[in-house]
Chains A and B, each alone.
Chain A
Amino acid sequence: MATAVETLRDTPFTIGGRTFHSRLMVGTGKYRDNDTMVRAIEASGAEIVTVAVRRVDLDRTKQAGVLYHLDPKRYFLLANTAGCSTAADAVRYARLAREAGFNEFVKLEVIGDQETLLPDVQGLLEAATILVREGCKVLAYTNEDLVTALRLEDAGCAAVMPLASPIGSGLGLLNPYSVRTIKRRLQLPVVVDAGVGTASDACLTMEQGVDGILMNTALAAAQDPVAMAHAMRLAVEAGRTAYLAGRMPRREVAVPSSPLGGMLD
């Protein structure tokens, strides 16, 4: 007998011509140690992992590069431009990342406000346009604004990444309507990036029909990151499956589940 899941036909998760099995992407920052990071990433089932570009520590007093711990043959490395607050800086970091030689994908961030880490959408569009022209596959971290998402699509991005809530906040999906609208209106993959705090946030996000989620702090700052990574893997699958299954309509009044007939006198 076929299980329920076998009756579902999901479309492949393809970004910039590459197809992935897992719809969960994870970051590699802020873990208490590298062993926990590696085990959490394994438990998440993620194939795409994000990394940042920084100066080599010439004094070697701090940890070595992340690639000493993660096998770039096993994971698809997605470099980010985190920390950049101008289009010019973001382009510079993206070029350095590309030169590292793993792939032409970049998660483009241009931060416009240091307290909220909300994106500078004008700088983002400017940087995206330059990098697309240079052949980069740009995944653009943006806010949940439809018009910006449409402009990023027009600019030739490979995916748009609207936030659920501010980076590292764990506030969950604050604006399901806007994220749903972006997904409905764009042809591009929509991957929600930032803000999920726990498994229900991830599930609710995937139930909006988006193509995937990227998270970092929700795993790294959990009391047990490996267990949370497992929970997130299940939540992303549950949310995606529920979306494909199609939820029942909402009603303002009750409808009995048991027959009205056959009641005793």
Chain B
Amino acid sequence: MSDTIDITLNGERRAVTRGVTLLQLLASLKLDPRAVVVEHNRTIVRRPALGEVRVAPGDAVELVHFVGGG
């Protein structure tokens, strides 16, 4: 069994470690969990729950933050 699985991260296919939690995913991307909002399969995952939710093959994860806008 492969050690990685494919997920769709911010619209792009990406291989991540099997069984990784969303919190570990953020850490691997060097993202501060306080600075991003995580959507997992169209459901927002609150910060306290990020360490409990694991990604599965084919999951869609969106990582968003605030940028300049009017």
Contact = CB atoms under 8 A, between A and B. Distances in A.
Q: Which 9 A-B pairs have the closest CB atoms?
A: A52-B69, A27-B70, A216-B70, A28-B68, A51-B66, A65-B65, A29-B68, A56-B63, A29-B69
Interface in A63-95: 63, 65-67, 77, 79-80, 82, 92, 95
Given A97-B37, A216-B70, 12 more contacts: A27-B69, A51-B66, A53-B65, A54-B64, A58-B12, A65-B65, A66-B66, A96-B37, A96-B64, A99-B37, A100-B65, A100-B66
A21 interface: no
A30 to B, nearest CB: 7
Interface of A: 27-31, 37, 50-56, 58, 63, 65-67, 77, 79-80, 82, 92, 95-97, 99-100, 167-168, 194, 214-217
Identify whether the interface residues of A are mostly helix, strand, loop, or mixed: mixed
Given A95-B44, A99-B37, A99-B44, A58 B29 contact: yes
B7 interface: no
Given A95-B44, A96-B39, A56 B10 contact: yes
Contacts of A52: 66-70
Nearest to B67: A54
A51 B44 contact: no
Contacts of B68: 27-31, 37, 51-52, 66
B70 A217 contact: yes
A56 B46 CA distance: 17
A65 B67 contact: yes
15 contacts: A29-B69, A31-B68, A37-B68, A52-B67, A53-B64, A53-B65, A55-B11, A55-B63, A56-B10, A58-B29, A77-B66, A100-B66, A167-B70, A194-B70, A214-B70
B63 to A, nearest CB: 4
Interface string B32-47: 0001110100101010
B56 interface: no
A168 B70 CA distance: 9
Interface centre among B36, B63, B66, by most chain A C-beta atoms within 10 angstroms, is B66
Contacts of A194: 70
A116 to B, nearest CB: 15
Nearest to A65: B65
B15 interface: no
Contacts of A214: 70
A159 to B, nearest CB: 16
A167 B37 CA distance: 27
Interface centre among B42, B46, B69, by most chain A C-beta atoms within 10 angstroms, is B69
A58 B9 CA distance: 9
A79 B62 contact: no
A50 B9 contact: no
Interface centre among B35, B67, B70, by most chain A C-beta atoms within 10 angstroms, is B70
